[in-house]
Structure 1
Amino acid sequence: MDDVRNTVDPMIFLEKVRRPVLRGLVRDRLDGRLVDVLSATQGCSCALVLAPPGAGKTTLLSQLVERSISPAAWYRAGAEDSDERALARHLGYTLSLALGDSGLADAARSGRIDDLVRRLDADHLGPVRLVIDDLHEIAGSPAEQALEVFLRLRPRTVTVVLGSRRQPGLNTSRLLVSGELAMVDGDDLRFRSWEVEQLFRSVYDAPLSPEAAAALTRRTGGWAAGLQLFHLATAQLSRSERERAVTELSGRSRLIRSYLARNVLDGLSDERRHFLMYTAALGVLTGDLCDALLEAQGSAAVLAELEREQFFTTSSDGGLTYHYHQVLQTHLEVAVSDELGGRVARDLYARSGRLLEQAGRPADAVRAYARAEDWGAVARLLGPDTEVVARDDAVWRLLSRSGAVADDPGLALANARRLARDGQLQAAVDAYRRAAELLDDRGFEHRCATEGRAIAIWLPQSTTATLPPAPTGADPESDLLRQSLELRRMTRDVRDPKCYPGGWRRGLAYVLAGDLPQAELEFATSPAPVPGPGSPAWEPLAAGLAACLPDAIRQPDGALAGRIEAITLAAELDGLPWLGRLGRSLQAMVQVRSGGVWQGEVARDLLARLSSVGDRWSQLLITVGVAVAASRAGAQSVASDAGGRAVQLAGELGAPSLLALIDDSAPLPRIPEERRLAASARIELCCLGGFGLRVDGTEVAWRSLRPKARMLLMLLALHSGRALHREHIIEALWPEASLSSGIRSLQVAVSSIRQCLGLGGVTGDPIRRQGDAYELRLSDASSDVAEFQRLADSARRRSPAEALAVRTRALDLYRGDLLPEVGPAEWVVEERDRLRLLAASTASAAAGDALAVGDPGAGIELSRRSIALDPFHDPAWQLVITAYESVGDLSAAAIARTEHRRVWDDLGLAVGG
């Protein structure tokens, strides 16, 4: 091998044959699949990884090289390697390095591929894996033709893996038919939500909750480069700030826009760029729709070519319809608004809406009309007699703007259905009632009343409460109510699964009855429900998830995770978030059962964040799933936490039969006596960016508390040193309980907190009762909230240099939102907003201090942080503009002015108005 390196051909560029550094998340479903198909027993000796830029091709190829049992050779093609001579010499050199045979490099110096192939036939040479990346760089060249000769004539001990952005000119169809070629495409490379979660936790060391990981997956389409760019943009943020950034991620992300501009859109002709930008207004693409919108011909061929070239364009129905990748779609929508201007963009969306409506695509038309701000058309399509579902949350945000249609019966009914799909049951019931009052029509009133009753039976109730009788009508609303009644009865008691209609509901009943073999038989032999007139759109997806339950409980695997992911994505895309949450809970079961440290952490994060989900039925099902999976995986502490929360929720909702799945043998967690510490322990109480309670640097095991007890501890911590009346506490934490039962629950929770804190080293009585009030009193404890407030206030009457130092210390304490674990609980929202705005004004004041002492760099950073916390804080905008101008960066100052103006434009106000 040293002989090879010492006689490097001057035509060889060593960078082209140097293996890339191993990086990224090893995804067994991809890596293992390619390793398996390229094994000697499979008869497959070639693989093609075909995907658009940034999809993770090179990462996968580098992992294949690293994990190869055989010697491995690497070659990255370039546009300059367009002839046979360059290709042969680079292949010969990299293969000679891998096999330690200088004769290969010598044979390739002739520049003829057949000379290299003949040398590879030598008996003394063993198997080798050759990876060729960036194959698209030599597309259509003599080098590509020579490579086809190499693939056809090489000995089969040489396995070849190709990476390309576009379909190569090789005869891949022959290789596919013969079984010699395996294909991995962009959809295969797309990160699944659980992989995104693992990537951020294990590789980036920046954990995301399951909900945030799922949202980031949707917003980026699982695009590897998008995930990396998001990580780079949020690397310095706290966890709560990072998760808030997920919800704010849009087509205006500078890093993503820059990447797309340089690596995807750069070099496109004006004609192709015009096609992409205008047709993005349609959302769903067909040749006829694009032709009509552009008033041109040949769009079908353009769409087919975009898909063939892997240009972020896909079709799931054999070319009948196409969609742009989510990241490209969002980027193009921003470009439409920015480059065409508001009026032209609205006209474009209005024309798109009319075309989509004429093509029989009402849901897509609603989205286009809403972006065109044609509220009359939106109200017409969402009329009382239609079943259109506006799937895009952005549509509902647009409908809340000033000028949108108000008090329209169709929109009111559509909004009630949206609330129901989101699991906001009480709000949905109220919305159905209001909708019925808007139109004096018996049919419309029946629809609102019946659908409202189908939702109302899922409100919290006792198991002894009487359910309404099943309706006899043959209309879709009555059928929906009948199905809801069947499922609601199932949550109360499953005595005889045979009494339920055959199909997925009976299979689900067998699961709850504990008869998994019979459940599998029922799911396997019953036809899947088909969506159509009179059939709810959610039923096929719910049936699919139910059919996954037996495997999820007994022995889940990667294939099951893929099935669940597909159903979950379909539910989320179809505007069924409650069903999507159930899919995520099943995924959590699969991940916990697969073992490993990070899976246990995922489960704990999931349990800690359940209180932020308003949909309590999803909470119950998720806790049941985690409890079952954790118990079977041996994670008894997690199982105990989840089981306790499930018992509480099942009691509140009136659903005891769901608890039958839980293995109740999991012991309650125990805290060792050795954790008791000395009376002089130092106590730290943290509420900003996440709750924490440490004694002498060791975290107290507050997570072992039941969820309501944890919430009580956080409520008392928020008001540390102040007494709260018990009625105030009960109203905040047990709003549906009577006073007597609320008092009992409060006393039990207080007792468990006292025990937990005592075992953690807190001496004395940390929760003091004063009549009917309770107070958390931790002697000599430091509180990040109190210290942040003190520092922010004390900086006001200091010199700029002193004030800057004090305010910087205050901002270091503000690690994120107040108590993000409790979500939008009413008792924390007002104080959370006050502290966030205080942090924003503190950052803005610190930016002014920095400019006053001649540090514009710090001024820019601090004013940007203020804007991130409160985009409507005008002084911060003025400071960042001034800071950029002071360092001569007029371009950045102009961009800041544009961003400032856009913020106020979104409110319909002039800057500073």
Structure 2
Amino acid sequence: MTVTPPAASRIDLAVLNPDPVSFAPPGGVTAGEGEPALRAGRGHEGHGAIAVGPARPSNRKFGRHAGILDVSGLPIHASKIHRPLLPEQTLSRERLNGWLDVHTAQRIVVIVAEAGFGKTTLLADWSRRSQRRCLWYRLESDDRDWLGFVRHVVGSGREADDGFMPRTLRMLTDLGPGGPTRDQVIASFLTELASEAQEDPHGITLILDDYHNIDGGEEIVPIMRGLLDRTGNGLTVVIASRALPALPLGRFRARGGVAQLDGEDLCFALDETERLFRETYDRPLEPDVLEDLVDRTDGWPAALRLVRSAIEDRTALETRSFIRDLTGAHAELHDFLAEEVVGSLPTELQHFLMRTSILDAVDPRAVEVVDPPSSAHLDERIVRAEHLGLLARPDVDSPHRFHPLVRDFLHGRLTAEVGPARVREMHLEVGRHFEGVDWRISATHYSRGGDQTSVDRVVDGAIDQILGEGSFLEAEHFVLRSDTDTRISALIVRSRAELARGEIHEATGLAEAAVRSAEHHAPGQMGLALLNLATLLALGGPQRPAVDAASAALGHHLSPSQRDVAQALIALWEAAHEGDLGMIARLLRRLADRQTANRQYHYAAVTRLNLSLVLFWRGEASEALRAANEAEGLFLSSSRGTELGAVAAARARALAHLNRMDDAHRALEGATADDNDIRRYELLVEGSLVHCLYGDVDMATSLLEMAGQPTGYKSILAGPWSMAAAELALRRGDLHSARAIVAELIGHGLAADAATLLRTELLLARTKIRSGEPATDTLAEASRVATVQRSRLGQSIVSVLTELAAGGSVGRSVTGLRQADRPVLSLLAEELTASLHRLTPEAATVVRAECRDRPSRWRSALLAASAEPGPAALLAADLLSAVGDARDLRQLRTAAQRNKLLRTPTAALARRLALPVCVHDLGPVSVQVGDETIPGHRIRRRVLALLCFLIARPAMAASRDEALDQLWPKLPPDTSVNSLNQTIYFLRRIFAPEYREGFTPGYVRFDGETLSLDPDLIKVDSHECRKLVAETRRGNDAAVEDLARLYRGQFALDFAYEEWSLGHRDRLHAAVLGVLEQGIERRREARHFADAIELAQRALEIEPESDEIQLALLRLYRATGQHAAAAEQYAHYASTLREGLGVEPPPFDDL
């Protein structure tokens, strides 16, 4: 969009609703979400602005029609597959770019906002900076057919990479009679795109811009379903749309695979607005002026562009005054709106706009009150106003709203026309109309009409709804204006608002004040006040004071939904002790469904959170995760409060139990940076517990240390902290601390969440077992509680502990576990590793499988058991060799110095952790060890010669005498043997600088007679080529192209004249050329000329003097009409025949 600076007292209408939003200085050109004529590549015929990307060549060729691009033979619209060009000065928004960096490494990103919110600008800016390969496809209404969709995506990829998706390209060019079917093309497209993404080191992001133009298309939906199913493993799909796409995203959301931005997210924050005006517009604004600007414009991109144009010629003082007084009634804006926009509209539309300007949202119900004649024409008038940029909405689910500046203008004009008194009366009419129907609208308009008494009455009457839907912060706005400090509803709203901000102390004080006020002023509201206090006291778990308050509340008047909440809180107390978890889960499910149906989303969120905790200890981790996901969605759509920390913890625990630790980490992300202090504390404590139970002990320790002791207002979370601290002490072997913390849990009646009593009994039993004390009575009590509660998870743990405590073999309790219950073995890793010698063979197999599934949980336990003298040490070391990491290897080596039996598992662990070695022996030799490549010239020549000699031998092995004869033929026997030993010494240290016999991987093996390289640890390019040659002989034609890429030159040119290298080199070279010649001929016969030419060119790089390949390439050039290339190739061919073979070539026309 080209922006022209305004005249002295004019503002260009285009800046009211710029589309796309450009944040460049005036005169810049940006292509984005704009009108067709302004899109990239469509400025004028045949000269589209093409953004191929830095250092990426384009093979584009323009046809006769404007904007048509020929990419590898595909007819494609140029403007659709090129990232829109942005001026270099475009503001880069780190907040949103960083968000995209994180979430485009996952699966699906959805950006939903109306035109003008800068979706395209954001994606264009991010994609030009991202390391990921970005395929851009801007969709229009004519892209609803499958063929065009596939062609454009393939073409977008081939703009930067001529080798992108070759199989699908061939199928597209072969379409027609006898060619591939639609289903075959689509299947190839989906499979090959996923494969390309997986092979790309940074992954691929497919950006589908303006997706709403094709949403629901009959031919597009199956392709999109297939694309979404293949996301992950490097492939991400970004959908930018004006409406939420009608795609099956639910199952991906349930797994955390969908990230979404909406219009509100795209609006500019204060710091971004500051940078926009300072860096991009070169008009820095003072902090207070910026705050006023953001407050007046809501950070809407279109509004900021409008203001920038308006202040261009103003001084700093004039700018301050302009922004501070910024309204639609401002003289310049008023003149513009009056003369150019509103003044030219039909009278009935002007009337509609003015009267609806008193509304925050153009709600059809409210329009009936303020402008009844417009009700019948509402849709038509909204569309007209939206087209003019006077009305907008952030997304399709939100109502239309005026831009604040436009609203100010219209409101001022209405006030001038009917008078302030009539405007106030209109507000009161709306307030009366919505009283009892919509408390927000009613309270808002009563407040604007100056009737605070009615505002208080509305809030009092809607308190149950406010609490149920979690709209505390909205309601706080109204109650803070009231002069009545003792109103119960006002105190309750304020307490909940403080809780949402994480201010526990203030929230509890206000809740207690509400109880006192009810006692003296409003006994009829005592039940509500007590219930509010109970919910605050239960934040860290169902504590006794919370249950007492809820029980007392039931003795007073409560609404049905409030009574449900009180009974649910008491049920949670029972769930923490001896309540039937199955019955409580059914109660909570019914209650959550009822609350959702009544639109009490906050209540429903809390109930589903509690349901998740109950289901987890029922042994239903998948259902617990589902309930926690539902709770998260409900909280995000309602209160967005402190409880989100508990939801994240519940999700993380269920995910970890289901062995989805990466997802559990993501659920806990941001704990250290959360600005809600109580939520941050809860996430740190619960994160420590999750890592302690299922993950890394050091991470668990770090998180609990960051949290610190639960003092002051954090004491409300003393129960969860004590549970985490006890588990951590037990895992680290600090049995004294574990016992003391368990005693405190029991003595003070602290509750964490569901099954607290059962969990403390289990902790006590484990402490006794680890200490060698009798645990029969404790286990019997734990078994009783688990049975009464119907806790399958608890019963499984008790069963394993009982068999461990009995002292005999351990088998039935382990093998009898259902697959879904086997994570309990990880919860008991320390107890099981200390008794590995007692496991039956079948039980040992089960434990090994669980250990491999959760290595980070078992490593510390296995290492501790390995270091202890006893019958379990060797078994633990053997298991550690299969799952240990580099830290474990160092400590296991130390243990092996004391216990020689551990040397074998130590060597096995070292071998498993060995860095992969690849010898690049085609052309000049180099050795790659892990990520480091060592050029051959940095290796001692005799060491490199020994390496290449062994590579050239069958099975990479030779006898000692063969090595001596080939490498040291002239030295005396003793000297040559000493040289061989020294050379082996140095060769081993190329692969493992800290090599120690028996403790480091054996890349080079030597038993005194036979010398060899380990083929499992060392890969060699020439051997990989031999395998590819064998693959082609078995009919795998795809291996031909892999071979052409891998074979870069003849074997070990560093030793080109050594006799021992000749046979391996010549045999491999001949075999490769034979395969390439056959591959060229097969592609020529199949008429895949482009592939045949590419293969022939590669073959000539390998063997430039091959007259057969030169002749084949010449004929291919002629067959495809490339006459100049054919003539040049004939000259090379003729020269080869004359100079190399001494014969005259046949005439050009005869070939």
TM-score bracket for this pair, using the shorter chain length: 0.3 to 0.5
**TM-score with structure 2 length normalisation?**
0.36
| Larger relative contact order (CA 8 Å, sep ≥ 6) | 1
